Structure 1
Amino acid sequence: MFTRRRTWGALAAAAGLALLTATAPAHGDPAAPQRGLYEVHGATDAAKRTTVRNSGADVAGTRGDVMTVVATPKQADGLRAGGFALDQVGDFDQLLAQRSNAGGAHEPNDFPPGDEAYHTYAETTDALKKAVADHGDLAQLSSAGKSFEGRELNVLKIASKASEGKPEVLFTCNQHAREHLTTEMCLHIVQRFTDGYASDNAIKDMVDSHQIYVVPNMNPDGSEYDISGGKYQGWRKTRKPVPDSTEIGTDPNRNWGYKWGCCGGSSDDPSAEDYHGPSAFSEPETKAVSDFMAAHRFKAHIDFHTFSELVLWPYGYTKDDTAEGMSAEEAKRFADVGRQMADTNKYTPEQSSDLYVTDGDVNDWAWSKSKTLSYTFEMYPKDGGIDGFYPPASEIPEQTTRNDAAVDILVKQAG
């Protein structure tokens, strides 16, 4: 149903390119400081990983006691002064140019050559409309609201006549702009539960006994900016200007209203990649989606991210296994279900704060607001450099179907 009208023939083109010597402008600003891609050694526990994250560097992934980060020279110097050893993998903007196949022809409003199988926002919207046209008895398209730049925050509901009044389940994707594989994950969920309804009894049973909602683009302005000019920009945040600042964008997954900015799990520096915004729900995207969630009674939820191959659960704001609003029994259920899902996709399961402390994230908010069994999945790859942000489009089928069994477990846990 979601096959693109272009071929996969150029998928491997970027792999053979030589590293470019010209530095691309960071975040589209010719005067922006150089960004290096580094491996940070010595992050042996959650406290040290939190220290790395609090440096202002952009944490890309973790592997044991090694963290991959994008950092300015000043941030890298600060990490070294803090006792961490750094190996520079490369210049991030040069690597972006290389990954973008800078020598090839670029369509200004599409993914770089070789990655056209990824869906732009317009193509994602068209795919959702096609799901409704093909399965009008199951699929309904609506909007949670509008982004800062006026794009609809599309919501696709999948339910049969038998689903009325049944438990509600939510899947959300693309909070962080450059995590395009997650949008493909949400589209795969839509395709599987609509196209498979008539032929797969297990899917029919899940749809008939649940109301399934999918939000494929929680940050459409950021994701469109990330491919502007047909080249990857390495952009993570939203696109709303920060008041009283020259900076643009807030980390949407630090902008949710529960324990916002409370615990050293986000930054109050507008230039930081995990900047939490001037106030909770300052971003129209998080405000709209949170209002949509609050208007429902979602029993279970996965928010998809990349990368590191992790299954994470609340709380993120505290290192304690239990805290106000979560009993030991509830914490055990989170862990048990998380491990069951991880057994199927071979991700690593852990409480979010075991990785590093975060505050103002969607999982903590969803649990505190409505006791939603809310998880984050960090998708493929397990680790990596630039391909961690931008895995080749050839990986889409395998890495989305890889989560089918985990998705089914989550749906059934809704009751």
Structure 2
Amino acid sequence: MDLFKSRHYSIYFKDLIPNGLFSHIHPPNHQFAKPTHKSYTNYGRRSTAENAISHLLVHAVADWFDASSVLTIFSVPKSCDHQAAKRGPIWADRCGVTSVVGQVRCDKRGMTGVVGQMCCGRCGGTGVVGQQACCDRCVVTGVVGQQACCDRCGGTTGVVGQQACCDRCGGTTGVLLQVWWDNRCGVTGVVTELKMMTWAAVVVVVAVVGRGMSSLIPANDTNQFEWKHHNNDDLEAELRRVVDRCGEVARLYALSEPSVRNVPLWVLEMSDNPGQHEMLEPEFKYVANMHGNEVVGRELLLGLADHLCEGWRKGDQDIHNLLTSTRIHLLPSMNPDGWQLATDTGGRAYLTGRMNNNSVDLNRDFPDLDRIMYSNEARHVQHNNHLMEQLRQFNHQPQPETLAIMKWIMNTPFVLSANFHGGDLVANYPYDSSRSGAYHEYAHSPDDETFRHLARVYASNHPRMSDPTRPPCVPGDYSFGHDGGVTNGAAWYSVEGGMQDFNYLSSNALEVTLEVGCDKYPPASALPKEWKDNKEAMMEYLWQVHTGVKGVVRDSLTGQGIPGATIHVKNVTRINDTHVRDDHLNHDVTSVRDGDYWRLLTPGDYEITTTAEGYLPLTHTVTVTNPSHSEAIRRDFDLAQAPTPAELQQKAMEEAGVGAAGGVATRGGDMTDDYQYPQNDDVSPIDSIPLEEALLGRLRGLGRFRY
């Protein structure tokens, strides 16, 4: 009875299991009980047959032997070799080792092993059956009956019958024939003797280390994230490892342009439906390593990817809720070339590696939309969003990394973002560029209240960022702990061409800049502490994408979503019994391709007015409360089509009893007088060299399309 075969291994059970065992394993109408021991039920992407037989082995064998933690593959006494040869092969470990009882079988690298003589792995380790166990890919060996095999975490050993191998997570041990399975390091060992019902004493060799048998390995056996400085190849491999483990919620893609040295800018997307925008599901991004020598954020995002993946696999409810309601994009390294230079030179210089490979500071390389916005303010034009439509020329050609980010922002309906830096400990919010050009000057944005809230969420969930007693990074400098760990960017120092303000002024996204440590390139040993300090803050900041209000703008007749509708907000929160606020937030957002929109807001009462070309304006009042870890309040807008000028004229004539020749003057301009948008000829071109015309045309097109 051939119950299961795969290209990894084959098991024939008919002759290996005593008569009557099948009835014990699988009696009629048998229902598998939920195991009380460690879960070995994460079968990955195997077939139904593989999953079923793996489940059968785990529970039935454990029940039969009354040893819940022992997972086994059976081998027969040496005297039965000639019979076992007819029964088929038993496959070995994750290094591609194979062995056949009484025969010879080669793995894909040509290594062979004969049971009763020797089995080899592609790692070069050998072990004589009956004397020495096969090695795993870390060239660790152990003598059967004397010493268990050790894992790759440091050569810890345990004597069979006395002590199990220790894992790298704390040295937990256990007595064989009781509970000895290491829960994450892939430890193997040998069970001394177990009595079968009708068999003589049989050596039961535990060989559960193969990919083909990984359904019997604890869920996180080989998935322990390693805190280290991942090089550019490691970074890609780590992201691909997340996709391999959590493919149902993870997708890896590269931005449109690689770095100067042709390194892809890898992004990990995490969502319950990766690869596409879902209606009313906000999009979020974390970007790190913009300055190549500021590396903590790079490792934090790799750790966050692992954390989200593991939480999803283990059924963490908070992470499940987050990934089913949010589309998250993680870019661990915007400047892999700078990282390489910083690393190659020791990582200790304050500036080496900061720039990209063309010696350009990427956080000074974006279009200076602040100048356009401040110019609009000077002319009393209340227009400070989606300003790429007004951009005529640059004073430089953007770097490929910058251009890739610009296209990404303009093509994706991001709602919230954060950008990781190093060198201080503070959450920095817009505007980054001062109005007057002064080096230190607080520059309020229309969303100043919301930005301060977002920055404080991160700072207050970090154990040191908001601590007023912590010393400054440099003796004699100012400690932002006195300000709750937050600062306005221009008040700290003015920056032109920064990514933070570009997000806010070119798209719907709000972004803050997170300086997450005094040491730009700390030793690898410090990274676990950095993760501990930032983990809660990163998760809480992620949830802020669900604050405020969201909804859909639709045609009231057809029910179709209206893209490009403008959402304007006025704060009408009551101050006291006699006064309410009357504050226009003069930074509008727009609906995206399906008509859905998001507007981040702090708690309060708001009037939200939606306008769209060809439709009558509509205003709703909403109360925002922002309950923790919940989705934003929803308010939809069903807009009625506006009558055409001819229809208005005809109606007025009918009401006045005037014939067609009488004529009635009508206003054919904008339907809202409050918000005048500047025409392109009103905009003074930036004093600069022209950008390549084809490129500028594409960017303008993206701005008009708005996702």
TM exceeding 0.5: yes
Which residue among 230, 251, 255 is the counterpart of 2:365?
A: 255
Could you tell me how far apart the structure 2 residues matched to 1:141 and 1:291 are? Answer: 17
- Give 3-state SS (helix, strand or coil) of 2:261's partner: coil
Q: How does 1:251-400 map to 2 (within 5 A)?
A: 251-259=361-369, 279-280=395-396, 282-318=398-434, 319-322=441-444, 326-327=445-446, 330-345=447-462, 346-347=464-465, 348-381=485-518, 388-400=519-531
- Equivalent position amino acid for 2:241 in 1: K
For 1:117, the equivalent position in structure 2 comes to 228
Post-superposition shift, 1:312? 0.5
**Partner of residue 140, structure 1:** 251
Alignment correspondent of 2:6: none
> By how many angstroms is 1:355 displaced?
1.3
State the shift of 1:198 in Å: 2.8
Contact preservation (8 Å) 1:140, 1:158: yes
For 1:372-412, what per-residue CA distance to the aligned partner results, in whole angstroms no more than 9, with x for missing partners? Answer: 1201110123xxxxxx2321211111212322222223222
Inter-CA distance 390–230: structure 2 relative to 1 (3 Å threshold): closer
Q: Residues 232-267 of structure 1, C-alpha deviation per residue, up to 9 Å, x if partnerless? A: 563210112xxxxxxxx100011111348999xxxx
Q: Does 1:131 find its partner at 2:131?
A: no
Alignment match, 2:278: 164
Question: How many angstroms apart in 2 are the aligned matches of 1:310 and 1:229?
Answer: 27
Offset at residue 279 of structure 1 (A): 4.0
Deviations 1:287-321 (A, max 9, x none): 11111121101111110010211100110101344
Map 1:63-82 onto structure 2 (within 5 A): none
Q: How many residues align?
A: 271
Deviation at 1:231, TM superposition (A): 6.6
Q: Tell me if the contact between 1:255 and 1:286 (Cα under 8 Å) persists in the aligned partners.
A: yes
Deviations 1:151-180 (A, max 9, x none): 101011001039833100000010101112
Q: Is the CA contact (8 Å cut-off) linking 2:251 and 2:269 kept in structure 1?
A: yes
8 A Cα contact 2:364 2:495, kept in partner: yes
Q: Deviations over 1:18-63 (max 9, x none)?
A: xxxxxxxxxxxxxxxxxxxxxxxxxxxxxxxxxxxxxxxxxxxxxx
Asked if structure 1 preserves the Cα contact closer than 8 Å seen for 2:370 and 2:501, the reply is no
Residue 214, structure 1, aligned to residue 324, structure 2: no
In structure 2, how many angstroms separate the alpha carbons of the residues matched to 1:158 and 1:116?
Answer: 21
What corresponds to 1:406 in structure 2? Answer: 537
Where do residues 156-195 of structure 1 align in structure 2 (5 Å cutoff)?
A: 156-161=268-273, 164-165=278-279, 166-195=281-310
- Contact residue 148 and residue 239 of structure 1 kept, 8 A: yes
Q: Is the 8 A contact 2:347 2:521 kept in 1?
A: no
Q: Which residue of 2 aligns with 1:84?
A: none
Q: Name the CA distance, whole Å, in 2 between partners of 1:337 and 1:261.
A: 25
Contact 1:173 1:304 (C-alpha < 8 Å) held by counterparts: yes
Q: In structure 2, how many angstroms separate the alpha carbons of the residues matched to 1:367 and 1:260?
A: 10
Secondary structure of the corresponding residue to residue 389 of structure 1: coil
Q: Is contact 1:254–1:260 with CA below 8 Å preserved after alignment?
A: no
Looking at structure 2, the residues matched to 116 and 340 of structure 1 have their Cα atoms a distance apart, in angstroms, of 26
| Native 8 Å contact 2:340 2:353 kept in 1 | no
SS of 1:375 mapped into structure 2: strand
1:182 Cα offset (Å):
1.7
Instruction: Indicate how the Cα distance of structure 1 residues 177 and 124 shifts in structure 2: closer, same or farther if over 3 A, else same.
Output: same
Paired with 1:226 and 1:116, the residues of 2 have a C-alpha distance of: 19
TM-score normalized by structure 1? 0.61
Separation in structure 2 between the aligned mates of residue 227 and residue 296 of structure 1, nearest angstrom: 32
Q: Which has the larger radius of gyration?
A: 2
CA RMSD of aligned residues (A): 2.5
Higher helix share: 1
| Aligned-pair CA distance for 1:129 | 0.9
What secondary structure sits across from 2:461 in the alignment?
Answer: helix
In structure 1, distance between residues paired with 2:399 and 2:532: 32
Are the counterparts in 1 of residues 227 and 528 from structure 2 also a CA contact under 8 Å?
A: no
Amino acid at match of 2:425: E
Q: CA deviation at 1:370?
A: 1.4
Residues 1:239 and 1:335: Cα distance change in structure 2 (over 3 Å): same
Change in CA separation of 1:6 and 1:226 when aligned onto 2, cut-off 3 Å: farther
Counterpart CA distance in 2 for 1:317 and 1:256 is: 12
Q: Structure 2 stretches of 5 or more lacking a match?
A: 1-151, 155-225, 374-393, 435-440, 466-484, 547-707
Q: Which ranges in structure 1 are unaligned for 5 or more consecutive residues?
A: 8-114, 241-248, 264-277, 382-387
Aligned residue identity for 2:496? D
Mapped contact 1:315–1:352 kept (Cα < 8 A): yes
2:354 aligns to what? 236
Equivalents in 1 of 2:535, 2:510: separation in Å?
18
Partner of 1:224: 340
Correspondence for 1:204 among 315, 320, 337:
320
SS of the aligned residue for 2:449 comes to helix
User: Aligned pair in 2 of structure 1 residues 412, 147: CA closer, same or farther (>3 Å)?
Assistant: same
C-alpha contact (below 8 Å) 1:6/1:117 kept by paired residues: no
1:335 alignment partner AA: R
Contact 1:6 1:116 (8 Å CA) reproduced: no
Deviations 1:39-92 (A, max 9, x none): xxxxxxxxxxxxxxxxxxxxxxxxxxxxxxxxxxxxxxxxxxxxxxxxxxxxxx
TM-score, normalised by the number of residues in structure 2 = 0.36
Match of 2:265 in 1: 153
For residues 314-336 of structure 1, the C-alpha deviation after alignment (integer angstroms, 9 at most, x for no partner) is 101013442xxx32xx1111012
Q: After superposition, where does 1:77-92 map in structure 2 within 5 Å?
A: none
What amino acid maps onto 1:255 in structure 2? D
Amino acid at match of 1:250: V
Write the letter of the residue equivalent to 1:170. K
RCO (CA 8 Å, sep 6+): is it higher in 1 or 2?
Answer: 1
